[in-house]
Amino acid sequence: MHPDEEEWLQVTRRQCHTVFGLASAPADRGALLREYVRLHGGGALLAHGELRPDEPDASWRERFGLVVRPSPSGHRIELDDYSMPLPPSIADELRTVLPLSAETRRPSTPSVADAVLRRLTGYREYRLSCERRAE
């Protein structure tokens, strides 16, 4: 991992953990915790007292894809199997099954800019002739 990416990851983890501690709504806390776990590669450890007594409830697995297990130093939180990324072998197979076309979906027929376009914007041509007619 590039040093800048590592620094970004560390800062983002700290920010996410801070915001999780400040959040009050259960939905916000669950979504933030899921993101915190994702930033840690699919598993994270929270100290005792970081989860509220009513957390986690049984809906966390279904609602947020989180599995919470008690540990001696707090709670081990992991992403449920279905929310983990696909193994590389399956992802490669899917790329061959679902080939994507590199062709443009919408044909581009640019039109020459008129004085209005040049005066009001930095563009020198309309992407489509219908844009010119719309003005």
Q: Please, which residues have CB within 8 angstroms of residue 44's CB and are 6 or more apart in sequence? A: 36, 37, 76, 77, 78
Please state the pTM of the whole predicted model.
Answer: 0.58
Domain ranges of the chain: 3-83, 106-135
pLDDT digits (tens, 9 = 90+) for 17-73: 999 999 988 889 989 999 999 899 889 999 988 888 778 777 778 888 888 888 898
Q: How far apart are CA 68 and CA 71, in angstroms?
A: 9
The span from the CA of 127 to the CA of 124, in Å, is: 10
Query: What are the tokens at 20?
Result: 């999780």
